[in-house]
Amino acid sequence: MVKKAVLIGINYPGTEGELLGCINDVKRMHKSLVELYGFSEENIVELIDTDESQTQPTGKNIRQAFWDLVGSAQPGDVLFVHYSGHGTRLPPETGEDDDTGYDECIVPSDINYITDDDIKEIVSHVPKGCSFTFVSDSCHSGGLIDSAKEQIGESFKKKSNKRFKCLFGLFCYKGTTSEAESKEETPIKIDDDENDVNGRNRFLPLQTSIKMLKQATGRDDIKEGNIRTTLFDLFGEDASPKVRKFMKVILSNMQESTGEGLMLRSLAEQAIILLKDKLNDEEYLKPAMETRVKSKKEVYAGVINGGLGSNGILLSGCQTNQVSADVGSRDKAYGAFTNSLQIILAETKGKISYKELVLKSRKYLEKQGYPQRPGLYCSDSYVNAPFIC
């Protein structure tokens, strides 16, 4: 048996979406894996964006790290991923059925989104008898492994209509979840046991993503209506597999409907030219999306209906419509969820089940005044199993 880990921390320095605690989260988790769970240094891969000498956490590099982790696994191996960074949600493609009504995404340093379906596809290749634990300290992280069974959480359940003002300037739904109502993310003050510290949430609004993409590329033509087209145009074959499939199906449908044989240099050029005025036209896209849904069911055959079998285990920092807190200033910053895990693991010396860990984290965060509610998503066989077993 071999224990292997990929640890991802993204602070987005110098951007509108800058965070402060994500690299610290990675360092603390690295220490815990070695000291509490016996991971070897050579089997821990770090992707952080504050050290240019290390592999950068771009969309391409994160996907490759995931595939390397899964591709080298043997039955009995223990695989572990920790992600600290921004999360976001994209409205689902026209005609698509999604467990939560959105595409939950993690946000790499180059804004080349990795969607819940992308992660599900990777986890579906984990060998039988090999566990894959994914801890995500990011906003909207409930449901990041799409179709995983919800053991602790409210991401897939009906929300209450009763709401009240709570921490972060958010509206909290009584007994369930919280949702940001404001488009602008503002600094907050959180009461810490020792002193008041600045806080942020790890939600990256789509408009901020667009601004960051404009800053990185120098392009001014990026907007909400063409975000998938833009991602495909910018990243090509390195874009999210889900984005690529979406674009190829749409393009194929348009070629069939027009009867034109297009001889352009790249699929990206064809997509940009053909989709410029069409992506927001639901009636135009409907035939293509019917094909897209069928294609999706074929691609994820055995995964969509049966979940993830016994392989994938997700510990989310919050529910799918909640935000996760990034707390503190510079050297002492941390993710609220990761911090709760570290405190609990230290107290229990790492000897705790998945269920106990998440429940204790919920209790700790509630006591500290955080509205976020961590979740557990996995098969029944892992609920009471030892954490990182």
The string of DSSP letters for 271-300 reads HHHHHTTTTT-HHHHHHHHHHHHHHHHHHT
Among 86, 105, 140, 172, the one annotated catalytic = 86
Residue 185 CA neighbour count, 13 Å, CB half: 22
Burial of residue 95, with CB atoms counted within 10 A of its CB: 0-12 exposed, 13-18 middle, 19 or more buried = middle
Quick one: DSSP state of residue 321? T
161, 108 contact by CB (below 8 A) = no
How many Cα atoms are found within 13 Å in the side-chain-facing hemisphere of 193? 4
Q: Residues 107, 10: contact at Cβ < 8 Å?
A: yes
Comparing CA positions, the residue from 31, 288, 303 lying closest to residue 5 is 31
Q: Which of 139, 172, 318, 378 is catalytic?
A: 139
Backbone phi and psi for residue 126, each to the nearest 5 degrees, phi listed first: -65, 130
Q: Is 378 a catalytic residue?
A: no
Sheet holding 170-173, edge to edge: 163-166, 170-173, 178-179
- Confirm if 292 and 244 have CB atoms less than 8 A apart: no
193 vs 190: CA distance, rounded Å: 10
* Burial 347-382, CB ≥16 within 10 A → b, else e: eeebebbbbbbbbbbbebbeebebbbbbbbbbbeeb
Residue 140 known to be catalytic: no
Q: Which residues are catalytic?
A: 86, 139
